[in-house]
Structure 1
């Protein structure tokens, strides 16, 4: 089955800038993410398609190649030929150059630039003997060269970022799409990257491959807000507990805990739960804190006896306030 156009997959125009492309990807990735569509093979396929499109369009070099040659730039189906020129220059003939049949597009390069030309168009996977022969003929370098790093993005759940997780991602290289298992460390924050050594572009003439830098985006979790290693949440307590003090059960990332509520607690005040925040990526024995904002539950239905008692309390408060005002005036 033919692949859909990358711009069509993300629902953006060919003139879309980097921000538009990223915004479209994040919206679609959130909608079709496997974590929110468990067991839905159609959503899983859609997510792979979205990720592949974004991987291409978010990289300026890949996008330029895609705009010129489509998927042929990445699937190894592009034909090729060389016509060596004098004075250390050459012309790359590409039958997918975008013009009528038989036309070609020229790429000029100086001595020493051949590595970049081969890497751009063949991803380091072109026949070594031909390339070495051409390098010698044109005066190019014969030394090893490390492959370029690749960049990709992944979206994970809030709890997966807190506790760490293993993910399988799909990466497209010169040989096709491959699956990679990635470990996301506990405590990773929004925008951080996981480096996969040796999973980037292959090196030149025996050089080491580059790395894959996987940028992490974290989904929101209702009721929780993260600020660095600290976590903020809310807890609702009865009116009487706020007045007299007592205990309240509070949900944290690590389960429910019982908190002490001081008497006279006001709505909006915060309680600190030490070491109930996010683990440090550098030191697993260090955690941030959790901050619980207290909300007071006002009773919505009262019995007649309860209503009478509250009315008496209200009258007492008013009399005390009036007495204080009178004393002040005197």
Structure 2
């Protein structure tokens, strides 16, 4: 049976460049890998076909010979002039061909990065840190500069983060030759694992620093100044770049994330940029009308007119007296909600006056009269 054209096997045009061939191979290898095609009995044969084609076309000399002589360049029919080792004679290096796509298929599982060879970075970036900061509503209104104490890991000053004693440098790991990974052959698979000697660092420290034990960092509390912008809300996140944990062996420092929590206020309730304040008023002030003095979040005072006949729940707005906008300009509003207060602990004289008022106020309660008319209609309907 005649062999398929190698270009056709990979799904590329004749004369395709190295990058295009490599991309096509990776795509085909992923698609036809036997582990992903357990229900396809032909997958293994097709997978080997793809590896065979790529083993030839990825090599410039083999590709040139194939372009000129086709499959005859590898079946021994060239009289010794052409390349003799190749997939057609059973000598194809499937492990070499498959290594290009191995990290794409299993890179995440093995800890590698797809499409990248070589060893791991020896220096490790420090961890990001989180700090929860509680502030008052007044601080959120005006904005503040706070000093916080953060327990973290900082670069060891004794070894300048190298992890070695004195001025010595870390030595390259003899097991992995500084790559941080070791490879083992299993059939046509190349299995890559973290080096057991250096734990993936690529280096070993023969004379560790006495202060940090070779890690290149020590635990320490740091004091930092944090600028809290006006208008922050609970859940606001502030990022301080480079203020996190120091990296291992001179690696870059992580970041510090400050999460804001605004405390509840005894007078004001917040709704975005708006503030709400529930103000109790005397029954007489609500009936006759008058003024009430209310506080504002900036520490000031405002006098608000109470219209005659005001009921509990009536709202009035003070424009621009809310919280400043965190993003943008302007401020929210402050809403006053009235709570008409019933008097308690009445004297005999006060009770007498209220009874007299009740006799004279038969037509002064429209909401009550409307309610009882509806109740009467409801009961009448139930009777019928």
Question: TM-score of the superposition, structure 2-length normalised?
Answer: 0.43
Which has the higher relative contact order, 1 or 2, with Cα contacts under 8 A spaced 6 or more apart? 2
Q: Higher Cα Rg: structure 1 or 2?
A: 2
